[in-house]
């Protein structure tokens, strides 16, 4: 039974659980549009060319991406007309009837937010959340080094970054995703999220944690990488989509870690 990209979007809106934000500049079609017939849906945290080609190779021509397609927050194409990377990517999408829809603001508006829910599950932190939906976790006491190593193993990360004394004893953790790095000051022992501005931000956690370590205060910061922090959420998103889109395949096409250690 045929289904169009517009019908997929309508079902997402119907099942989201909160009103769809129509005024968002993010959650729009970035390639092709609602009339395209969909053969399969690939969820992904980033719609890189590699992701698009892999989805196409598996017979899926709709990409539901959490982050951008054309390298800026609004996917503006200013100055890209002659860029060889843009031309190759856009021409591949046009030639192969690839439709790309971003699902960002409205995904985060859903309760529970897939990204927080999935990251807590994958890291093994979910049973320790207190209070519920606070993204605050009272973990079994461990060292910062052991905690970071466990998170890296569970996520399959080779480029996770940690700030603080690896021997520091930590228990109370606050989780963020993407850019949302929690504040390290206060009673929390360790903060974790996707990425963080190192200086000149609203809160310079990196310097704060370094000073705390020098003073022997148990503090830590775990930086996962933006994609690594939110990719598990797109796996949960695929499972959710399968509950109301049954005519076609729906699966996560994993982006993995964009960084490599040297």
Q: Rg of the chain over CA atoms, in angstroms?
A: 20
* Domain chopping of the chain, boundaries: 5-110, 114-226
pLDDT tens sequence for the chain (262 residues): 789 999 999 999 999 999 999 999 999 999 999 999 999 999 999 999 999 999 999 999 999 999 999 999 999 999 999 999 999 999 999 999 999 999 999 999 999 999 999 999 999 999 999 999 999 999 999 999 999 999 999 999 999 999 999 999 999 999 999 999 999 999 999 999 999 888 887 778 999 999 999 999 999 999 999 999 999 999 999 999 999 999 999 999 999 899 998 8
pTM, 2 dp: 0.94
The CATH number of the structural domain formed by 5-110 is 3.40.1390.30
- Residue 170's contacts (CB-CB under 8 Å, 6 or more residues apart) are 139, 141, 142, 143, 144, 147, 189, 190, 218, 220
Is 114-226 assigned to CATH 3.40.1390.30? yes
Per CATH, 5-110 and 114-226 having the same topology is answered yes
pLDDT at position 223 is 98
């Amino acid at each position: 039974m045929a289904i169009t990209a517009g019908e997929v979007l309508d079902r997402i809106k119907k099942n989201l659980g909160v009103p769809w934000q129509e005024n968002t500049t993010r959650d729009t079609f970035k390639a092709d549009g609602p009339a395209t017939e969909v053969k399969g849906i690939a969820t992904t945290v980033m719609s890189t060319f590699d992701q698009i080609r892999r989805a196409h190779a598996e017979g899926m021509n709709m990409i539901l991406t959490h982050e951008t397609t054309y390298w800026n927050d609004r996917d503006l194409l200013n100055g890209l007309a002659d860029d060889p990377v843009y031309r190759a990517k856009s021409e591949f999408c046009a030639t192969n009837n690839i439709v790309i829809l971003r699902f960002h603001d409205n995904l985060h508006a859903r309760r529970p937010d897939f990204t927080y829910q999935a990251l807590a599950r994958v890291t093994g932190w979910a049973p320790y959340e207190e209070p519920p939906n606070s993204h605050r976790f009272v973990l079994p006491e461990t060292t910062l080094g052991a905690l970071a190593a466990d998170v890296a193993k569970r996520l399959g990360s080779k480029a996770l970054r940690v700030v603080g004394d690896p021997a520091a004893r930590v228990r109370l953790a606050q989780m963020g995703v993407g850019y949302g790095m929690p504040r390290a000051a206060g009673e929390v022992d360790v903060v974790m999220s996707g990425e963080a501005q190192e200086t000149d931000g609203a809160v310079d956690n990196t310097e704060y944690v370094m000073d705390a370590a020098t003073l022997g205060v148990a503090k830590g910061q775990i930086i996962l990488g933006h994609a690594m922090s939110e990719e598990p959420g797109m796996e949960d998103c695929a499972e959710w989509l399968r509950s109301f889109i049954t005519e076609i395949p729906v699966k996560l096409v994993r982006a993995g870690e964009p960084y490599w250690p040297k």
